[in-house]
């Protein structure tokens, strides 16, 4: 009975021993389930893992695109952006800015130059080639870059933009500096490239705004990429402000040195480059401080040209004397006689070419005239002298509203040498020298006399106004009784014979001779009996020109006032200059009328004021028997034919006022004064005769 119990005990003992060994080995036992401690540890590990995964999931779900303020940071670190954020934002900004820049650049179109950049002055020149006046809202003349000396180009580039030929057309630092100055309310001078300045001059306003600077940036890039550098430089030189009312290098060369740009030397070019910085501070004629600044900058620019390689040191050494410019003058205008001269030149060139008033308003023309400055001044002086000596509006009401018109023509070719159009072109707007409306009175009679002689000699088959270089042979017969009567009547200012001869030969015949001699058809009066005693109203220019027919053996040439017109260096076609002489009357007729006119000059002018012989002259005039409201004197010599008219006009009164009493009771209705004006003028401009 004990043996089974023992076996169970033995079995149990054996099992316990084994279990004890396995417990000693811990959880590494094979084939036995884990204990409670092990299960607890495993559960804890699984819990921690699950919680970590949850936190990771929640963190991923809540993560921001831009981690700022930064999570998981404390204090100032929370507000410090990560390098990833900084780099990302920078790249984004650069990409956005680049895209915007490219978009705007593509959309920018180069506009047409604004009016002030395309508008140029029209320049008028005296007969000797010197400049008379520049007319236009902008004193500017375009010149080709080839007409600008290399030394001037070098001075401008060295002073303004040394790397002009290699840059992109813009200065980003300059634009940034200008923008900062705008925000600060300061001026934005300096820092711009030549391209930027050209763009501003040609396409933009001068407003100092950020918007304008941005436009300048894009347009400058576009222009620099699409236009040759030479074209940009040419445009810049033609649009820049040099002070002294001068836009562009050509106008500046005249304003400072009285010469065209092509004649500037390197020293003068350096000064013009200096005033580009600001004429109000660098025009040496304005003040002593300006002079010092100008001299310093002039010297620096010459040195700078050596540095940039546009001038050698040997060449630089030649220019040690500051190139003093001429004193500044007031802005050119059409005051005095200038406006009348321009008016006559414009009328002539418009009649000879397709140039219109609109074209002239656009400017850019160089008009070379026949006007001689010394004779214009002498004619003006003669008129003013006689007026001052003989007229006194304060003393005599009849001396009020007196006007004078005069013109001087060169007989050999018809050139208009001088005119007097009135007291001042900017105050008196009617050109008295070139205006119809003043009756010629007895000054018209020579044409009646010529018509009668032509009828007497050749009948209705007298020569017409066609070219005929060879005068007809003189007729053997002497003057008839009727021609002698007209001769005497012309000298004595008798009207009746002229009225009668007009009826006899026909007023149409008289008119034809007058028009053939150079008077305008539209200035002819109605063909009434008084036509022969001067009811027609030719201008002073035309009457002076027509009288040259008697000096030139019966040949006539239309007056001209322009010899050449150019625009942008190209001649304008128009047949300017002297016309081909035409035969108006026979040489015999011209000689017969001239004989009477010389007698008129002797009685009208009297002896010369000095010992000189009397100048041979042909003269027509009005006299005391004339009852028309005008006084004329036309005196012609081989050198000059000059007409002088005096009359009275009152604003808003269409008719001429009477001449009775002008200058006092002995003035012969004012007819005494035109000969005095002619004589004073002719003695001033005619060289002494042996």
Supply φ then ψ for residue 571, to 5 degrees.
-65, 140
Helix (H) or strand (E) holding 155: helix 150-160
pLDDT in tens, 351-364: 988 888 878 877 88
Would you state the structure tokens that stand for residue 379, as one six-digit string? 């004619």
| pLDDT tens for each residue of 505-524 | 999 999 999 999 999 999 99
Report which of residues 211 and 167 the model is more confident about.
167
Under a CB-based contact definition with an 8 Å cutoff, are residues 434 and 419 in contact? yes
Lowest mean pLDDT of 100-114, 286-300, 662-676, name the range: 100-114
Q: Which of 293, 232, 264 is nearest to 155 (CA)?
A: 264
pLDDT on residue 26: 47
pLDDT averaged over the chain? 82
Any bridge partners for residue 634, and if so which?
620, 643
Backbone angles phi, psi at 132, to 5 degrees: -90, -50
Q: Are 371 and 421 spatial neighbours (Cβ–Cβ below 8 Å)?
A: no
Q: Look at the alpha carbons of 232, 237, 242, 247 in this order and tell me if their dihedral is positive or negative.
A: negative
> For residues 117 and 140, what is the distance between their CA atoms, to the nearest angstrom?
9
For residue range 341-350, list pLDDT tens digits in order.
Answer: 999 999 999 9
Please check the confidence at residue 2 and state whether its pLDDT lies above 50: no
Per-residue pLDDT, averaged over 5-16, amounts to 45
Name the residue among 192, 200, 223, 198 with its Cα closest to residue 145: 198
Q: Which residues contact 525 (CB under 8 A, 6 or more apart)?
A: 439, 531, 535, 536, 537
Cα separation values, 156 from 51, 269, 274, 528, Å: 78, 8, 8, 70
Q: What is the mean pLDDT of residues 481-499?
A: 86
Residue 300 has pLDDT above 90, yes or no: yes
In the prediction, which pLDDT does 58 show? 54
In this prediction, residues 263-273 reach a mean pLDDT of 97
SS3 per-residue string spanning 189-216: CCCCCHHHHHHHHHHCCCCCCHHHHHHH
Tokens at 545, concatenated: 């020109």
pLDDT band at 686 (very low <50, low <70, confident <90, very high): confident
More confident residue, 547 or 32: 547
pLDDT in tens, 388-432: 999 999 999 999 999 999 999 999 999 999 999 998 887 777 899
Q: Is the dihedral of CA 190, 193, 194, 195 positive or negative?
A: negative
Rounded Cα distance between 377 and 393, Å, is 24
Q: Which residue has the higher pLDDT, 584 or 196?
A: 584
Asked if residue 671 lies in contact with residue 624, where contact means CB atoms within 8 angstroms, the answer is yes
Q: Does the structure show a pLDDT above 60 at 182?
A: no
Comparing C-alpha atoms, which of 449, 456, 489, 482 is closest to residue 592? 449
> Quick check: 557 and 580 in contact, CB under 8 A?
yes
- CB under 8 A, 24+ apart: contacts of 657-665: 657/401, 657/629, 658/629, 659/629, 659/630, 659/631, 660/398, 661/396, 661/398, 662/391, 662/396, 662/398, 662/399, 662/402, 663/390, 663/391, 663/396, 663/398, 663/399, 664/390, 664/396
List C-alpha distances in Å: 362 to 118, 125, 137, 140, 358.
8, 18, 10, 11, 6
Report the chain's C-alpha Rg in angstroms: 48
CA distance 90 to 96: 10
Which pLDDT tens digit goes with each residue over 377-391? 999 999 999 999 999
Q: Could you count the other beta carbons within 10 Å of the beta carbon of residue 488? A: 13
- Cα separations (Å) of 148 from 144, 145, 195, 315, 498? 7, 5, 18, 18, 64
CA distances from 6 to 1, 11, 13 (A): 9, 8, 10
Q: Whole-angstrom Cα distance, residue 375 to residue 12?
A: 158
The answer to whether 3 touches 10, Cβ cutoff 8 Å, is no
pLDDT at residue 476, as a whole number = 37
Q: Cα torsion for 85, 91, 94, 97, to the nearest 10°? A: -70
What H or E segment, with its residue span, contains residue 415? strand 415-420
Q: Are 563 and 544 in contact (CB under 8 A)?
A: no
Q: How many CB atoms lie within 10 A of CB 64?
A: 9
CA 650-654-655 angle, 5° bins: 85
Q: What is the DSSP letter of 62?
A: H
In angstroms, rounded to a whole number, what is the distance separating the alpha carbons of residues 567 and 504?
53
Identify whether the C-beta of residue 579 lies closer than 8 Å to the C-beta of residue 465.
no
Among the residue ranges 125-134, 304-313, 459-468, the one predicted with the least confidence is: 459-468
Secondary structure (H, E, C), 226-273? HCCHHHHHHHHHHHCECCCCCECHHHHHHHHHCCCHHHCCHHHHHHHH
pLDDT digits (tens, 9 = 90+) for 54-67: 655 555 545 566 77
Q: Which residue has the higher pLDDT, 115 or 467?
A: 115
365-369/122-125 β-pairing: parallel
In this predicted structure, what is the pLDDT of residue 179?
55
Q: Which residue has the higher pLDDT, 21 or 678?
A: 678
Task: Measure the CA–CA gap between 271 and 274, rounded to whole angstroms.
Answer: 5
Share of the chain above pLDDT 90, in %: 49
């Amino acid at each position: 009975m004990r043996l089974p119990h023992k076996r169970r005990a033995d079995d149990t003992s054996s099992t316990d021993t084994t279990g004890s060994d396995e417990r000693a080995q811990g959880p590494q036992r094979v084939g036995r389930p884990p204990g409670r401690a092990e299960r607890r540890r495993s559960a804890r590990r699984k819990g921690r893992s699950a919680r970590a995964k949850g936190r990771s999931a929640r963190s991923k779900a809540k993560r921001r695109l831009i981690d700022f303020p930064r999570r998981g940071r404390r204090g100032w670190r929370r507000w410090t952006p990560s390098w990833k954020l900084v780099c990302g934002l920078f790249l984004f900004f650069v990409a956005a800015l680049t895209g915007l820049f490219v978009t705007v650049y593509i959309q920018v179109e180069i506009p047409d130059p604004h009016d002030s950049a395309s508008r140029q002055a029209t320049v008028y020149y005296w007969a000797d080639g010197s400049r008379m006046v520049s007319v236009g809202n902008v004193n500017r003349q375009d010149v080709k870059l080839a007409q600008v000396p290399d030394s001037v180009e070098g001075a401008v580039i060295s002073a303004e933009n040394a790397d002009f030929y290699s840059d992109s057309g813009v200065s980003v630092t300059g634009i940034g500096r200008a923008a900062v100055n705008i925000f600060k309310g300061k001026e934005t001078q300096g820092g711009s490239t030549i391209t930027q300045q050209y763009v501003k001059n040609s396409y933009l306003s001068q407003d100092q705004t950020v918007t304008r600077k941005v436009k300048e940036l894009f347009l400058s890039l576009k222009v620099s990429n699409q236009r040759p550098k030479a074209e940009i430089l040419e445009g810049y030189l033609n649009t820049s402000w040099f002070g002294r009312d001068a836009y562009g290098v050509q106008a500046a060369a005249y304003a400072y040195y009285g010469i065209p740009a092509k004649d500037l030397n390197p020293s003068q070019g350096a000064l013009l480059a200096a005033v580009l910085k600001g004429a109000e501070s660098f025009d040496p004629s304005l003040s002593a401080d300006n002079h010092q600044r100008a001299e310093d900058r002039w010297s620096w620019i010459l040195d700078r040209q050596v540095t940039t390689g546009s001038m050698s040191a040997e060449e630089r050494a030649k220019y040690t004397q500051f190139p003093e410019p001429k004193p500044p003058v007031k802005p050119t205008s059409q005051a005095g006689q200038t406006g009348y001269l321009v008016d006559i030149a414009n009328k002539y060139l418009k009649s000879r070419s397709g140039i219109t008033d609109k074209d002239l308003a656009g400017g850019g023309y160089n008009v070379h005239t026949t006007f001689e400055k010394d004779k214009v001044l002498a004619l003006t002086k003669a008129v003013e002298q006689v007026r001052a000596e003989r007229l006194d509006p304060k003393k005599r009401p009849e001396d009020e509203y007196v006007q004078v018109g005069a013109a001087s023509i060169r007989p050999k070719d018809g050139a208009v040498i001088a005119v007097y159009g009135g007291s001042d072109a900017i105050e008196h707007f009617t050109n008295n020298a070139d205006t119809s409306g003043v009756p010629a009175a007895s000054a018209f009679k020579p044409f009646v006399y010529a018509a009668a002689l032509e009828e007497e000699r050749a009948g209705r088959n007298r020569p017409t106004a066609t070219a005929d270089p060879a005068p007809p042979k003189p007729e053997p017969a002497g003057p008839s009784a009727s021609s002698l009567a007209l001769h005497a009547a012309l000298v004595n200012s008798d009207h009746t014979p002229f009225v009668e001869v007009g009826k006899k030969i026909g007023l149409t015949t008289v008119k034809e001779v007058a028009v053939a001699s150079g008077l305008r058809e539209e200035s002819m009066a109605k063909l009434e009996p008084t036509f022969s005693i001067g009811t027609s109203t030719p201008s002073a220019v035309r009457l002076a020109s027509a009288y040259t027919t008697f000096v030139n053996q019966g040949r006539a040439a239309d007056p001209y006032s322009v010899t050449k017109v150019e625009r942008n260096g190209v001649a304008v076609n128009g047949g300017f200059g002297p016309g081909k002489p035409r035969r108006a009357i026979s040489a015999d007729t011209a000689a017969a009328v001239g004989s009477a006119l010389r007698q008129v000059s002797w009685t009208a002018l009297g002896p010369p004021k000095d010992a000189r012989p009397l100048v041979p002259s042909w003269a027509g005039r009005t006299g005391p028997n004339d009852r028309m409201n005008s006084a004329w004197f036309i005196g012609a010599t081989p050198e000059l034919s000059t007409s002088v008219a005096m009359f009275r006009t009152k604003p808003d009164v269409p008719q001429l006022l009477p001449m009775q009493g002008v200058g006092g009771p002995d003035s012969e209705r004012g007819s005494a004064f035109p000969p005095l004006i002619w004589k004073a003028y002719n003695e001033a401009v005619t060289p002494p005769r042996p």
